[in-house]
Amino acid sequence: MVNLTINGTPVSVPEGTTILEAARIAHIHIPHLCYLKDLNEIGACRLCAVEVEGEAKLTPACDNVVREGMVVRTNSSRVRWARKINLELILSQHDCTCATCVRSSNCKLQKLANDFGILETRFRKNLIPKKFRAWDHNFPLIRESTKCIGCMRCIQVCDKMQGMHIWDLEGTGGRTHINVADMKDIQDSNCTLCGQCITHCPTGALRERNDIDRVMWAIDNPDITTVVQIAPAVRTAWGESFGLKPEEATINRLAGCLRQLGIDYVFDTSFSADLTIMEEGTEFLHRLEKGDLEKYPMFTSCCPGWIRFIKSEYPDLVGQLSTAKSPQQMFGSVIKTYFAQKLGKKPEQIYSISIMPCVAKKAECDLPTMKNENGVQDVDVVLTTREVVRMFRSERLSVAKVYETPFDRLMGDYSGAGVIFGATGGVMEAALRSAYYLVTGKNPPAEAFNAVRASAFSASAPWRSATYDIGGQKITAAVVSGLANTRKLCEAILAGQVKYDFVEVMACPGGCSGGGGQPINVDDEERALSRGQVLYNIDRGMTLRFSHENEEVLALYSDMLEAPYSEKAEKLLHTDHFKC
């Protein structure tokens, strides 16, 4: 342990602790913009500068470790003056149009400017030249270069957490700025649309494409029937922006809010998560029986960021993907067929809206393989959790007072297995529950496969694996989240270092709960695992915990699809990953 003094308070912390972390342990706040623990500790913004006794210059607290007897002052007049000057310099290179910024009231830069009482800056505006601002605003990920403060977070998150290297520095000296690497346009890069750069950006420099107007158009159109599906992970986070606890921000309250906006039908994507398990689980058993998994495993296919990743980085493994569509696309397909028939509507009269914790879902729904033979999309538009929050605010909904309403019937039932799709390991666990039943004819204990759940992230253990006995056959499963970890797993599989039968991949660390479309919090705390725990708690409290016991899914097979992995099911619920 190292002993030091911060603002006159004795502090004892482990050796190797930074001054910033030591202050945090002592409940002393040091402001910062660029710092991200273990990812971006470069002292670029200099807002964390502190005065260390015996040092002539101010010291960045984020990348300097404590030493025995150190005396630190975080609030001297010299420190306060330096921070204010540095903040004004940053603001001089930032387009301060807060009223029209998607991050207004939720921006770290804006909060610091308010905290420091900066009403005007003494430096001339020096925004990035127009020639560097060009961007395709039809792309699901939007970059506003004039709002970039050069904190390097996007670069470090993309490089270290996701291993994709999409962003890089461009130019030299005072002309240095961040842009797409190798001078590419974003649509020509290998961006997976995971959205982690968005959720870790401290300003509004990165955001998702805004599709709210498309939804409001459909609501106002008397000839259109609007149908919404809500992804499992959305329920874990949508209430954060309104200060609601998880038990207050229920999925039924969210459904009530959507009905107040004028949505005609509201469903839970957990229904089609159960449907996905029936298809994917059956497909896995078929492939296993045929010997198709002798060399490489079958990979899950519900994460579009992962699908984009494998196609660009490991095309030789694309054939190992499950052909099952994602739950989003399965639901859209069923809405435009089964549900449309029940309503007596044509597919084009139904506007299918998805609310997802994901940016990549916006690209997924536009794929040519996600349309019927007449060119009608399964899903018409995708809104992120953040967009739904903004939509509720724009309509002035008092969400805490909105009455909870149940989902519509016909496709409104879902199991706990469908709910845990939103947490890393949840897809695998749900699939194995039903695979066990399909092989043995009886249910396993609901908690039999929870060894694949994540309780923490560890660089030394980039993925989790377990071997299970299912009907006398050993099944080895692996679960991985985060694309840098995924790359390590893929390399190990291709090198023959590991052998698995079934692998679940989620592009975002922690799975959909930590998705790139989830609410952004300015405290830099990662919430994926705590949000995922909400889903596991819901599953634990449900009576129905197995996808194969969902009566409404079984009715869908009886009325239309015949059986899992049947010819009809393949036509409606499966896709060809090689066609796009």
Cα–Cα dist 239/399, whole Å = 9
Cα–Cα dist 399/248, whole Å = 10
Cα–Cα dist 514/254, whole Å = 19
Tell me the C-alpha to C-alpha distance, in Å, between residue 29 and each of 112, 113, 469: 12, 16, 51
Segments of the chain with pLDDT less than 70: 455-460
Other beta carbons within 10 Å of 455: 10
Contact by Cβ (8 Å): 135, 118: no
Measured N-to-C along each axis, helices 385-394 and 251-261 cross at an angle, to the nearest 10 degrees, of 50
Cα–Cα dist 192/360, whole Å = 7
pLDDT of amino acid 456? 65
Contact by Cβ (8 Å): 407, 267: yes
Query: The whole model's pTM is what?
Result: 0.95
Q: Which of 228, 247, 433 is CA-nearest to residue 335?
A: 228
Q: Which of 144, 149, 150 is CA-nearest to residue 132?
A: 144
At 553, list the tokens: 């899914």
At residue 268, what are phi and psi to the nearest 5 degrees? Answer: -110, 130
DSSP labels, 179-223 = EEGGG--GGGS------HHHHT-SSSSEEE---HHHHHHHHH-TT
Tell me the C-alpha to C-alpha distance, in Å, between residue 140 and each of 328, 370, 411, 430: 17, 17, 29, 30
Contact by Cβ (8 Å): 511, 425: yes
Cα–Cα dist 463/459, whole Å = 9
- In the chain, the amino acid numbered 98 is C
Q: What is the 3-state secondary structure (H, E, C) of 444-465?
A: CCCCCCHHHCCCCCCCCCCEEE
Q: Which residues partner with 381 through β-bridges?
A: 353
- Spell out a b/e string for 414-441, using b for 16 or more CB atoms within 10 Å of the CB, else e: bbbbbbbbbbbbbbbbbbbbbbbbbbee
Cα–Cα dist 335/380, whole Å = 11
Torsion (CA) 139, 145, 148, 152 in degrees, nearest 10:
70
DSSP labels, 46-79 = -TTEEEETT-SS-EESSS-B--TT-EEESS-HHH
> Any residues with CB less than 8 A from the CB of 249 and at least 6 apart, and which?
235, 238, 239, 240, 242, 399
Could you tell me if residue 8 is left (phi over 0), alpha (psi between -120 and 50 degrees) or otherwise beta? left
Q: Which residues partner with 266 through β-bridges?
A: 228
- Computed over its alpha carbons, how large is the radius of gyration of the chain? 25
**What does the chain come to in residues?**
580
Tell me the C-alpha to C-alpha distance, in Å, between residue 463 and each of 92, 117, 224, 498, 511: 44, 46, 45, 12, 13
pLDDT of amino acid 580? 83
DSSP labels, 73-124 = ESS-HHHHHHHHHHHHHHHHTS---GGG-TTTTS-HHHHHHHHTT-SS-SS-
Q: Could you identify the residue written with the tokens 């494998």? A: 310
pLDDT of amino acid 328? 98
CA 202, chain centre distance (Å): 17
Exposed / middle / buried, residue 314 (Cβ in 10 Å: 0-12, 13-18, 19+) = middle
pLDDT of amino acid 42? 92
At 23, list the tokens: 């202050």
